[in-house]
Amino acid sequence: MIFRIILQVFFILSIAGSIYAQDRNNINKPESSSHFTDRFSWVNKSTSSVHEMNFIAGYSFASTKGFWGKIPEATLSIYTIRYNRKLATYNNRHLLEYVTEANLAANYTLSDTPRYRSGSFSGFGITPIGFQLNINQNNIIQPFFKSSAGFMYFKKPFPDERGVPFNFTLELGGGIEVMVLENISLSAGYKYHHMSNGQFGEVNPGVDSNIFYTGFTIF
């Protein structure tokens, strides 16, 4: 009887020792990064650089008959203030940001064409939906890709009385961001910018602009 109890106690102690050793190995063993979900981490909300303000000036020398646009040789100047909110990082290297913009001043200048008269159109716009991906966020030089969608409103119908003042916008592009100080960066890039009225006017020619821009960001 006593021998059986001793064996049971020894068996229980052996199992407890094995479990304890396994737990210590798991604690000391570094976490595996092989899982796909482990490569994503939310940016710490307490970090002061989560929020960014960006100021941009851009110009398109001549629009083209691209995917949707039908008005050629239109120039566009645009001045934008942008807010970026850092969302997530991938593999502690690549940064995804939410982007919203206010186009404080935009001016299209149209040349005479067989279908549309020349003219100048001034307005403003908002792009509430946008995302930017920065590659190698810890480097001084960071390539980035960006897309956004919004609208523009002009003082008069665009491109003539057959159009409407309210137009939709869509853009896609990328560039380079260079860190010059701990809380300031410079950027230069290109974006394909489409604008059209979504069939709300009698005509919907659309404009496809190739915008080259530069700006600076404050963290």
Q: The tokens of 120 are what?
A: 């100048």
Q: What is the rounded distance in angstroms from the CA atom of residue 217 to the CA atom of residue 83?
A: 9
Q: What is the pLDDT of residues 59-99, one digit of tens each?
A: 999 998 767 888 999 999 999 999 999 999 988 889 999 99
Predicted local confidence at residue 38, as pLDDT = 55
Q: What are phi and psi of 114, to 5 degrees?
A: -60, -25
CB count within 10 Å of CB 149 equals: 14
Q: What number is the average pLDDT over the span 123-144?
A: 95
Give 27 or 110, the one with higher predicted confidence.
Answer: 110
The predicted structure's pLDDT at residue 64 = 85
Confidence of residue 106 (pLDDT cuts 50, 70, 90): very high
CA 202/CA 33 separation, integer angstroms: 56
pLDDT of the residue at 20? 42
CA Rg value for the chain? 28
Distance of CA 125 to the CA centre of its chain: 17
Burial class from Cβ neighbours inside 10 Å (0-12, 13-18, 19+) for residue 119 reads middle
Question: Between the CA of residue 218 and those of 137, 165, 176, what are the distances in Å?
Answer: 15, 33, 16
Question: Considering only 99-103, 110-114, 155-159, 196-200, which range has the smallest mean pLDDT?
Answer: 110-114
Q: What's the pLDDT score for residue 116?
A: 82
Closest CA to 79 of 53, 100, 52, 106: 106
Encoded tokens for 50: 């989560």
- Highest mean pLDDT pick, 46-50, 115-119, 137-141: 137-141
**How much is the pLDDT for 11?**
45
Cβ distance 196 to 68 under 8 Å? yes
Short-list 33, 200, 211, 37, CA closest to 127? 211
d(CA 158, CA 155): 9
Q: How much is the pLDDT for 126?
A: 97
Q: pLDDT band for position 114 (50/70/90)?
A: confident
Average of per-residue pLDDT across 195-207: 91
Structure confidence at residue 172 as a pLDDT band (50, 70, 90): very high
Q: State residue 40's pLDDT score.
A: 61
